[in-house]
Amino acid sequence: MIELGAPILGEPEKAAVCAVLDDGWITMGERVKRFEREFARLHETEDAVAVNSATAALQLSLAVWSIGPGDEVIVPSLTFVATSNVILHAGATPVFGDVVAPGTPHLSLAEAERLLTARTRAILVVHYGGYLIDLAPWRAFAAKHNLVLLEDSAHASGLPGAAAAQSDGASFSFFTNKNMTTAEGGMLVVPDPERRQRARWLRAHGMTATTLDRAKGNAVGYDVVDCGHNFRMDELRAAIGLVQLERLSGWNETRRKLTAHYREMLPQLAPGVTVPFDSSWTTSAHILPALLPQGTDRPAVIPAMKAGGIQTSVHYPPIHRFTYYQDRFPGLSLPQTEAFSARVLTLPLHPRLSESDVERVCRTLGQALNT
Ligand SMILES: *Cc1c(COP(=O)(O)O)cnc(C)c1O
């Protein structure tokens, strides 16, 4: 079976976890701090806040900008559902915008202009598949209308351009199927130091001192300055993260090479199948979304791929079509998103694949399309 993706975990991760257990300090401590520093360094930013998921990071990014009831946040529907769930949890309203086109499945700026109202407070863009959105026009748009610009960078670990270089906050994921993993985990980058400090407080109940500070005698008591959460990362995850971080750039390079091989082989072995974006796009190559020819019977292709030993998926079914969202946003139509979602088939992509695996996937897909 050629898997869609698979975490790479080995002896260095085992050794790192064992070292934490030997030390005995397992909750948020020095390793989390080091993980934050190393992540920030790799992403060419000043500082980062480690949390227990990208969902938590997204939630904090909205909170530090005080986005809540009465506010509208423009967001794509072509993303994982957490991207819009956090907006609802904040008491704000997600306003779903269409993507540019099936060949460029990024939130469309023209759509955002169309959807702008007096209540629009923020835009939450998604670096779909790890393909970096050109943020310069978004930055100009946000400045013109006094909006907060946030990034869902769950797919984009390893890309400095996805770490709030041009935005007000970026959220990364270390879930098991992402480009690097801590099993569960996330990172928040907020350039504004005061808001970043607020994110640190909100991460741990709004308390002004951590358990480690108190254990070390650096703080005797603490104050509570905000109504926070428990979004802490622990030392075991940070230890794994530190090891993964060292290997991330190499893995991303392998992902990009394999993506290039897909782009080369698909036209030969599965004619009519295309890959969105183009080969020059800056990307962490998180997934390989393939666009099947118009009118393809995808429900027949998926089991044919499975029978050929190849796992596939769909990134993503549009959020506005899920029951919960359909009930709340009835009658919403996003033609480009729907056209993309109807045709996309995510093919295996991870650093352990070989070029011949890629060829086998392409060949199997070509056969599945011809039957
Ligand atoms: C995985 C993912 C998330 C959620 O990440 P968690 O770390 O699992 O909370 C959010 N947005 C996108 C686009 C994702 O792919």
Beta strand pairing status for 169-173 and 99-101? unpaired
The tens digit of pLDDT for each residue in 271-290 reads 999 999 999 999 999 999 99
- In order along its 371 residues, the chain shows pLDDT tens digits of 999 998 999 999 999 999 999 999 999 999 999 999 999 999 999 999 999 999 999 999 999 999 999 999 999 999 999 999 999 999 999 999 999 999 999 999 999 999 999 999 999 999 999 999 999 999 999 999 999 999 999 999 999 999 999 999 999 999 999 999 999 999 999 999 999 999 999 999 999 988 888 888 888 889 999 999 999 999 999 999 999 999 999 999 999 999 999 999 999 999 999 999 999 999 999 999 999 999 999 999 999 999 999 999 999 999 999 999 999 999 999 999 999 999 999 999 999 999 999 999 999 999 999 97
Q: ∠ at Cα 82 (80, 83), nearest 5°?
A: 80
Atom 13 (ligand 1) nearest CA: 80
Half-sphere exposure of 341 (CA within 13 A, CB side): 20
Mutate to test the pocket of ligand 1, among 83, 89, 125, 284 (most ligand atoms within 8 A of CB): 83
Instruction: Give the per-residue pLDDT at 246.
Output: 98
Tell whether ligand 1 has an atom less than 6 A from the beta carbon of residue 126. Answer: yes
The tens digit of pLDDT for each residue in 100-141 reads 999 999 999 999 999 999 999 999 999 999 999 999 999 999
Q: Tell me if 49 sits within 8 A of 187, measured CB to CB.
A: yes
- Integer Cα distance of 34 and 305 in angstroms: 43
- Integer Cα distance of 2 and 218 in angstroms: 51
The set of residues, in sequence order, having a beta carbon less than 8 Å from that of 275 and lying 6+ positions away, is 259, 262, 263, 266, 288, 289, 290, 291
Closest CA to 347 of 272, 266, 267: 266
Mutate to test the pocket of ligand 1, among 49, 55, 75, 78 (most ligand atoms within 8 A of CB): 55
The set of residues, in sequence order, having a beta carbon less than 8 Å from that of 301 and lying 6+ positions away, is 292, 312, 345, 365, 368, 369
Helix (H, G, I), strand (E, B) or coil at 171: strand
Report residue 71 as tokens: 């506010």
Distance 343 CA to ligand 1 centre (A): 22
Q: Which amino acid is at 111?
A: E
Distance 83 CA to ligand 1 centre (A): 7
Atom 8 (ligand 1) nearest CA: 175
Q: Tell me if 60 sits within 8 A of 202, measured CB to CB.
A: yes
Give the residue numbers annotated as catalytic, written as ranges: 178
Q: How far is CA 304 from CA 2, 166, 280, 300, 349, in A?
A: 13, 43, 32, 6, 18
Distance 359 CA to ligand 1 centre (A): 29
Residue showing tokens 């209540």:
119
Q: Tell me if 312 sits within 8 A of 4, measured CB to CB.
A: yes
Distance 350 CA to ligand 1 centre (A): 17
Return the number of other C-beta atoms located less than 10 Å from residue 181's C-beta.
Answer: 21
Tell whether ligand 1 has an atom less than 6 A from the beta carbon of residue 52. Answer: no
Distance 236 CA to ligand 1 centre (A): 20
Listed in order, strand segments (DSSP E) in 183-326 are 186-189, 288-291
Tell whether ligand 1 has an atom less than 6 A from the beta carbon of residue 128. Answer: no
Tell whether ligand 1 has an atom less than 6 A from the beta carbon of residue 95. Answer: no
Q: Tell me if 157 sits within 8 A of 185, measured CB to CB.
A: no
For 222-236, b/e burial (b = at least 16 CB within 10 A) is beeeeebbebbbbbb
Report residue 120 as tokens: 């629009």
- Integer Cα distance of 241 and 244 in angstroms: 5
